[in-house]
């Protein structure tokens, strides 16, 4: 695997903390880790869940409606005849399919309504995207400081905080603030 060298700004800060090639390599690896985690943080996970809820609603609603038509006493309904055939083959008795599917129809109807409320809740309260990259990189940076026997300080101007902010910038995340970096370094994962 080809190692990506850290940018000049990150290299300068890393060398100020510890002028060692091994330390610089570790910081470069943490930068690569941050880059991968940041890319995962940016993926639209919420949109995939919303699309899945929409698909569920479409199919659950249609199947619930089909079962509702099948349960009507109107013997000429094609859905009624189809459910009778399913019951004969599945249970050996057409009425047993009607009995068993009533609970399913009720559940589908309730689940369809609940999925609709979930979609409404997601639209009304958009969530702040979860940011795992600072926490993961902060954990790796703590381990690197420990390995190189360096004092880890989460003070505003501490070496670890400056390094984490520089790692984020090098990885393409210009939004990581000093307080966020301090918080990420303080958490253990």
- Closest by CA position to 63, among listed 118, 126, 115, 106: 106
> DSSP assignment, residue 6?
P
User: Which residues have a Cβ under 8 Å from the Cβ of 184 and sit 6 or more positions away?
Assistant: 134, 135, 137, 138, 164
Distance CA 104, CA 90 (A): 15
**pLDDT for the residue numbered 41:** 74
The neighbour count for residue 170, using CB atoms within 10 Å, is 25
**pLDDT for the residue numbered 189:** 47
**pLDDT for the residue numbered 157:** 79
**pLDDT for the residue numbered 77:** 83
**pLDDT for the residue numbered 1:** 47
**pLDDT for the residue numbered 123:** 65
Distance CA 70, CA 83 (A): 6
Query: How would you write the pLDDT of the chain (189 residues) with one tens digit per residue?
Result: 456 678 899 999 999 999 989 999 999 999 999 988 888 776 666 667 778 888 999 999 999 999 988 888 777 789 988 998 999 999 898 888 888 899 999 999 999 999 888 887 766 555 556 678 899 999 999 999 999 999 988 787 789 999 999 999 998 888 899 999 999 988 654
């Amino acid at each position: 695997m080809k190692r990506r060298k850290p940018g000049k700004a990150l290299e300068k800060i890393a060398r100020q903390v510890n002028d060692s090639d091994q330390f610089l390599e570790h910081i470069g690896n943490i930068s690569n880790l941050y880059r991968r985690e940041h890319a995962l943080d940016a993926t639209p996970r919420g949109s995939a869940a919303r699309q899945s809820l929409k698909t569920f609603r479409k199919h659950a609603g249609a199947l619930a409606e089909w079962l509702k038509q099948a349960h009507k006493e109107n013997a000429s309904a094609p859905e009624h005849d189809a459910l009778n055939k399913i019951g004969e083959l599945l249970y050996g008795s057409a009425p047993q399919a009607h009995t068993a599917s009533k609970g399913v129809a009720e559940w589908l109807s309730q689940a369809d309504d609940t999925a609709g409320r979930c979609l409404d809740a997601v639209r009304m309260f958009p969530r702040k995207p979860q940011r795992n990259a600072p926490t993961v990189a902060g954990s790796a940076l703590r381990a690197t400081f420990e390995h190189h026997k360096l004092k880890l300080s989460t003070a505003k101007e501490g070496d670890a905080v400056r390094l984490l902010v520089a790692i984020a910038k090098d990885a393409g995340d210009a939004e990581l603030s000093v307080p966020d970096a301090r918080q990420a370094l303080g958490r253990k994962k």
